[in-house]
Structure 1
Amino acid sequence: MIDTALDTRALATSASRSRGTTLLLRAEGAAAFIGAVSGYVVLNGDWHLFALLLLLPDLSMLGYRIDAEFGAALYNSAHTYLVPGALALAGWLTGVPLLFAVALIWVAHIALDRALGFGLKRPGSFSDTHLSTKAA
């Protein structure tokens, strides 16, 4: 009986910590979104291009039509800051503002997803993400 009570408290504490971490990651996503959009404003980017490309990374969900593991890998590769970071660096180094603008749009997409609670996918289920409270 005592072990069950301790296990229940431990689970509640773990779930509370997990929710706190999720809220922190979502707030971080909101801040990154604001930063990316602000950078786009400073760059004087074309808002038609922004609207056209904002949801483009979500086409990576089509990988789930092949299978869940491939879908998760493809989705995650399109939803990590590494690729748009490299694109931004390339734009800066080459002096091509369009590359930097596309990178900011991509970062805005990823950040908005994180702010809304959509995280990187774990293989197996589209809804099982690094922002979900399920155990890895």
Structure 2
Amino acid sequence: MKQLLKLEEIGSLLLGVYLFSSLDLSWWWFYGLFLLPDISMLGYLFGTKIGAWSYNFFHLKILGLVLFLSGLYFESLVLQLAGIIIYSHAAFDRIMGYGLKYETGFKDTHLGKMG
């Protein structure tokens, strides 16, 4: 089952890469912004509850989809880019075993305990 979930996330990451390729931007934007959602880990400075909430919010693939679709609707390149980055980053994290966090600690994820 884990391999099937990873395969699904690889497909999601490839979709994000494809969507980015449809934008008229240099690939440096994708590479430069790819790890930006991880800044949400700063929430852990205020405890595990706030840390888990902030991390999870910026690692929701649905947030990425909503931002991307809003960008299409409003013809906003910034929203499209933000959506693609969040969506792609979340897929990559899940491939690597970083799931959405529980309030009990950073290593407790919906994919199981990390490490």
Q: Is this a same-fold pair by TM over 0.5?
A: yes
Verify: 1:113 aligned to 2:93, yes or no.
yes
Verify: 1:57 aligned to 2:37, yes or no.
yes
1:97 to 65, 68, 77: 77
Q: 1-side partners of 2:82 and 2:53: how far apart?
A: 22
* Number of equivalent positions: 114
Q: 1-side partners of 2:24 and 2:47: how far apart?
A: 40
1:15 aligned residue: none
Higher mean displacement: 97-106 or 75-84: 97-106
SS at match of 1:106: helix
Verify: 1:40 aligned to 2:20, yes or no.
yes
List runs of 5+ in structure 1 lacking aligned partners.
Answer: 1-19
Determine which structure has more spread, i.e. the larger CA radius of gyration: 1
List runs of 5+ in structure 2 lacking aligned partners.
Answer: none
For the 8 Å contact 2:55–2:100, the answer to whether it is kept is yes
Q: Percent identity?
A: 35
The within-5 A match list for 1:9-48 is: 20=1, 22-48=2-28
- Structure 2 residue identity aligned to 1:113: D
The two structures have a TM-score, normalised by structure 1, of: 0.76
Q: 2-side partners of 1:27 and 1:91: how far apart?
A: 27
For the 8 Å contact 1:84–1:106, the answer to whether it is kept is yes
Q: 1-side partners of 2:65 and 2:56: how far apart?
A: 15
1:132 aligned residue: 112
Q: 1-side partners of 2:56 and 2:69: how far apart?
A: 20
SS at match of 1:110: helix
Higher mean displacement: 65-74 or 100-109: 100-109
Q: 1-side partners of 2:113 and 2:76: how far apart?
A: 41
- Which runs of at least 4 in structure 1 moved beyond 4 Å after TM superposition? none
RMSD across aligned positions (CA)? 1.7
SS at match of 2:112: coil
For the 8 Å contact 2:60–2:86, the answer to whether it is kept is no
- Structure 1 residue identity aligned to 2:70: A
